[in-house]
Amino acid sequence: MKISLSGVSPLSSGAGIESEHVRVLILGSGPAGLSAALYAARADLNPVVLAGMEMGGQVALTYTVENYPGFPEGVGGQELVELFQKQAERFGARIDFDLALEVNLRERPFVIKAYSKTYLADTLIIATGATPNHLNVPGEKELTGKGVSYCATCDGWFFKDKDVVVVGGGDSALEEGIFLTRYARSVAIVHRRDTLRAGAILQKRARENSKISFLFNTIVTEIIGQDAVRQVRLRNVQTGEEWLRDTDGVFIFIGHSPNTQLFEGQLEMDANRYLIVDRLMQTNIPGVFAAGEAADPYFRQVITSAGMGAAAAMRAIHYLQERSAEKVSA
Ligand code: NAP
């Protein structure tokens, strides 16, 4: 479920008018956020999850997940999110379809302003995930939604019997490229090196798919078209040769950036703006935990995000218990 917030500004929305105190507030509704919700709910903490821009996060846009244990035949990304949500809600978690706009982690409780209200949270679990990177070439921005896409599951259907280009050489590029062959007539995978980063199984499947071809050592330098994508300008990075290729679509899968802008200046981050957490999912502010892709530049799997979410919630529970014990003894 995509949440439309276009045309709404924080001021016009009346952010901050109503406030609610919560013991555990979770930002983000992907595998990390919903797993954290499950664990916090089972500790009777009635956690509230702010769903963010996209209910379920990136996995909700994935056609099928084949590497989450317990589903030997694979499971639809959307279906998996619904199961996570149902399980967390069964124990008392609440999902609010809202988006955090501003956080103040210097105050106690923490203050999180969202569109509909202000949340005052004793503990905060950040599971805001990551967003696909852009190529930043001419034509990309103008033609997004007109043939340029970052989601094959969302847009693949529009390319029935068409020719598409997929950019990237990682698991996402190959997985989504293979998915696109359901619809497209041809899928050309354009990769900047001559070695794919993707895992062996996906590589084998892609190479065996007769609709897929590879353009190695090649980059897209321009996306061309007026109301729709018509061509891409390609360059061989070894020879410098440039040429135009006709295409109806360009799908870009070149990695992600963490959604952590909200915490700049308050939480420690690495050079790529991933939140820094210790082994216990704790950020530099006691009571603020982070899980999933916002804090994980390495694994970025549903299972690792879910595990981080569970761990963050267990530490949040521990943190609250310690604080109430301190109050009793004081
Ligand atoms: P990724 O592994 O970081 O791969 C990004 C790809 O894009 C790389 O091949 C990279 O090239 C290329 N690239 C980066 N910047 C580029 C640019 N400016 N121009 C052209 N190409 C560029 O990202 P991902 O494929 O999204 O995967 C992210 C994580 O999710 C990984 O850990 C992956 O294993 C996981 N994942 C797993 C599955 C699965 O298991 N089924 C599915 C999807 C994702 P270089 O190789 O030259 O760096």
2, pLDDT greater than 80? no
What would you report as the CA-atom Rg of the chain, rounded to the nearest whole angstrom?
22
Mean pLDDT confidence for 115-131: 97
The number of beta carbons lying within 10 Å of the beta carbon of residue 295 is 27
If you take atom 36 of ligand 1, which residue's CA is the nearest one? 171
C-alpha to C-alpha distance for 176 and 178, rounded to whole angstroms: 5
If you take atom 43 of ligand 1, which residue's CA is the nearest one? 172
β-strand pairing of 75-76 with 64-65: antiparallel
- CATH number of the 11-131+256-329 domain: 3.50.50.60
Q: What is the pLDDT of residues 24-76, one digit of tens each?
A: 999 999 999 999 999 999 999 999 999 998 899 989 988 788 889 999 999 99
C-alpha to C-alpha distance for 36 and 20, rounded to whole angstroms: 20
Backbone angles phi, psi at 141, to 5 degrees: -65, -45
Q: How buried is 39 (Cβ within 10 angstroms: 0-12 exposed, 13-18 middle, 19+ buried)?
A: buried
Tokens of 176: 């989504």
Tokens of 29: 């509704």
Atom of ligand 1 nearest to the CA of 299: 32
C-alpha to C-alpha distance for 192 and 169, rounded to whole angstroms: 8
Single out the residue of 149, 144, 112 nearest to residue 288, CA to CA.
112
β-strand pairing of 130-132 with 256-258: antiparallel
> What is the CB < 6 Å shell around ligand 1?
67, 135, 167-173, 175, 192-193, 197, 219, 253-256, 300
The arrangement of secondary structure in 134-252, i.e. its CATH architecture, is: 3-Layer(bba) Sandwich (3.50)
What local confidence, expressed as pLDDT, does residue 53 receive?
86
- Residue 7, SS3 per DSSP: coil
**Ligand 1 site-directed mutation target among 71, 172, 176, most atoms within 8 Å of CB:** 172
Residue 197: pLDDT band with limits 50, 70, 90? very high
Where in the chain are the domains? 11-131+256-329, 134-252
DSSP 159-177: GTT-EEEEE--SHHHHHHH
Q: Residue 112's beta-bridge partner residues?
A: 103, 119
Alpha helices in 146-286 (DSSP H): 152-155, 171-180, 200-208
The answer to whether 11-131+256-329 and 134-252 have equal CATH topology is yes
Helix (H) or strand (E) holding 125: strand 118-126
What local confidence, expressed as pLDDT, does residue 15 receive?
46
Q: What is the pLDDT of residues 249-299, one digit of tens each?
A: 999 999 999 999 999 999 999 999 999 999 999 999 999 999 999 999 889
If you take atom 16 of ligand 1, which residue's CA is the nearest one? 254
C-alpha to C-alpha distance for 64 and 66, rounded to whole angstroms: 6
